[in-house]
Amino acid sequence: MNKIYKRLIMENKISFCITCMNRLHHIQQTLQRNIEDNNLDDSVEFVLLDYNSSDGLENWIKEYMTEYIDCGILSFYRTLIPELYHRSHSRNVAFRLARGNIVCNLDADNFLGNSFAAEMLNEFSINNNIFYTSDLSSTDIYGRIVLLKKDFIEIGGYNEDLEGYGHEDADLFNRLVKKGIVQKYFYNRDYYNAISHSKEERISNEVIYKKFHSLYLSYINPNRTEILILFKDGLFEKGIITDNIHGISQYESNPDHLENTSKIRLENYFEKGEWFEFGREVLLKFNSNQVQFTFNDHKVSINGQDYYKVLDPNFIHSIVLLLTMKQNEQKSIDTINQNLLVNPNGFGKCTVYKNFDYQEEIFLT
């Protein structure tokens, strides 16, 4: 390696940004191994943001990871504000806290693989008009992105208008490409390992899961399905999704396939309104309309249209994931096509504390 080339690598610093809300059991398996597999002195940093976890994450870090904090490779931040997990906001906070000129989103359940950092530092020393992702074949690794921090800041970070699970990553990729930055892919399968977990765990700390009450489906025809989802706070959403290949009903026997299909579309933005329960009677109010129906164990009829209650938990989780992904996808498409500014009032605003020091607040404004 010639001296100029070596100097270019050493001038770069990569920050692996991890956000975590109640995923201690993942951090216990991945964090130390990722550090040991990618420890390059001053060229690597791990930023761990505790997004107000209640599972003992902070205590575990203090007990078992202080040696890495003391040597400077790990920075631990905690915020006491969020009640629920917000993917885009949490990642924006972590990226803003990063000291490296190169930043990487690293999910808590991901294993980087040996020398991932070295390969990325090498690539960015050769070309800085790039960003790296996986080949997008794996849901578990889909969110890993490596890019220059200045590019991240310039495009406005992750879109905080996208809530719930899914598409915040693809939205970021698409905006980077639109800016003229070249998307490249890492293919080494050693970089693709992650801890398997359920769909329920994916969304267990998010607002749609915490507020969920019940889900009803009405099969209009083999390719069109109307969804009615009731929330505990008295709100509901109702709308139609289409699948011109299979039809939603075909996924009941294998809900896992719902997450992988790209053929499903929202027909329009979902209607939103309020619902009120009077014994077994339910009133839906939206816009200037209202509809009353009677609850029973498996089916309700609304204006002559039958809706069947979904009872299988795995199918419920799959539909909820699908719905949030497709709603975010539509928002993203509209934002990009209309050239709307992402996060016009700023992003990643938060108050955090570093390395267990609660005497000094860090304000991200």
Instruction: Output the CA–CA distances (angstroms, integers) from residue 256 to 32, 199, 314, 316, in the order listed.
Output: 31, 9, 8, 11
Instruction: Output the CA–CA distances (angstroms, integers) from residue 285 to 92, 208, 218, in the order listed.
Output: 36, 20, 19
pLDDT tens string, the chain, 365 residues long: the values are 444 334 444 479 999 999 999 999 999 999 999 999 999 888 999 999 999 999 999 999 999 999 999 999 999 999 999 999 999 999 999 999 999 999 999 999 999 999 999 999 999 999 999 999 999 999 899 999 999 999 999 999 999 999 888 889 999 999 999 999 999 999 999 999 999 877 777 777 788 888 899 899 998 888 889 999 999 999 999 889 887 555 444 444 444 444 445 567 887 788 899 999 887 788 888 877 888 877 766 778 777 788 899 989 888 888 888 888 888 898 899 998 998 999 999 999 999 999 999 999 999 99
**In the chain, where are the structural domains located?**
3-197+348-364, 201-337
pLDDT at 270: 86
Return d(Cα 73, Cα 301) in angstroms, integer. Answer: 59
pTM of the model: 0.87
Residues 58 and 120 sit within 8 Å (Cβ to Cβ) = no
Instruction: Output the CA–CA distances (angstroms, integers) from residue 10 to 125, 145, 186, in the order listed.
Output: 9, 21, 21
Same fold, 3-197+348-364 and 201-337: no
Locate 101 and state its tokens. 């000129």
Residues 179 and 200 sit within 8 Å (Cβ to Cβ) = no
Q: Does domain 3-197+348-364 bear CATH number 3.90.550.10? A: yes
Q: Is the dihedral of CA 231, 172, 150, 58 positive or negative?
A: positive
CB-based burial label for 128 (10 Å; 0-12, 13-18, 19+): middle
Return d(Cα 319, Cα 22) in angstroms, integer. Answer: 23
pLDDT at 122: 95
Q: Residue length, the chain?
A: 365
pLDDT at 258: 44
CB-side neighbour CA atoms (13 Å) of 193: 11
As a whole number of angstroms, the longest Cα–Cα distance in the chain is 78
Q: Angle at the Cα of 72 (from 1 to 186), degrees rounded to 5?
A: 50
CB-side neighbour CA atoms (13 Å) of 114: 0
Residues 270 and 239 sit within 8 Å (Cβ to Cβ) = yes
pLDDT at 5: 35
CB-side neighbour CA atoms (13 Å) of 205: 18
Which one is the CATH code of 201-337: 2.40.128, 3.30.70, 1.10.3470, 3.30.1370? Answer: 2.40.128
pLDDT at 198: 77
Contacts of 225 (CB under 8 A, 6+ apart): 217, 218, 219, 240, 241, 242, 243, 247, 248, 249
Contacts of 360 (CB under 8 A, 6+ apart): 353, 354
